Amino acid sequence: MPATEKVSRGKDVEPRENIYLFAPNLIGYSRIILAVASLYYMPLHPRTCSLLYSISCLLDALDGYAARYLDQSTRFGAVLDMVTDRCTTACLLVFLASAFPRWSIVFQGLIALDMASHYMHMYATLAMGGSDESHKNVDKSRSFILNLYYTNRTVLFLCCALNEVFFIALYLLSFSSPLLSPGLLEQVPEIKQANPYSAAALELARANKMDSTVPWIIAIVSFPVMMLKQIINVVQLVKASRWLAEGDLEARRERKKTR
């Protein structure tokens, strides 16, 4: 079915666009397929998983460019893009929580912060700015850092890309670095007969699969940007909460006036 089909209305024939088949949305579907494939390989195949996951993330920039170039920006596409971002990052963090159980509360907190800040920001934009308002239209008076983050494409790309790069580096370290996962130091004979799908068996299967030098360098370089991204998430959550609270106060004042 083509992206544009003709619909007859009386004597006129006018084109009816199929939003689902817009080029940016097709790219979005491919991102989902690549992300699911990366999750399949995630437990035991770090190189294949990292390649698929990275391509999925890089396509995030391509679909936005395609939407602007082809004039195919849609609300469906924007939500599809955001949901894909949130879900893929959350899935990777879930794996990291299982790979590094003593740090699981940190990864759980990062998932909660990411989901909460974006949901609150999106809801506040729709409730206070109207249904036609984009969540990326943040006035400087509301937040300078959010305005810079959402309106400067270079800043947005670098923050999102290096944030994911940091988590990919941690993922690779789960296959290589005994400093983060003590179980990788040596093979434990008594665990060899464990359930092949148990956490212990999977950790043994991951042990010493790759050198840790490059993942450590990547993690160290991208760590400051990852922290900046979390600060932006906190600011986004706080600003959205305040915006909603201001709207509630205004609504209460209006109701009191009408009594």
Which residues are tagged catalytic? 85
The single-letter DSSP state of residue 7 is E
Residues contacting 183, CB < 8 A, separation 6+: 200, 203, 204, 207
Q: Give the tokens for residue 63.
A: 């679909």
Residues contacting 78, CB < 8 A, separation 6+: 134, 135
CA dist 24 and 81 (Å) reads: 9
- Tell me the angle at which helices 46-69 and 75-99 cross, rounded to the nearest 10 degrees: 160
Greatest CA separation for the chain: 80
**Phi/psi at 151 (5° precision):** -100, -20
Q: Give the tokens for residue 217.
A: 């360098």
- Tell me the angle at which helices 46-69 and 153-173 cross, rounded to the nearest 10 degrees: 170
* Residue carrying the six token digits 């995630």: 42
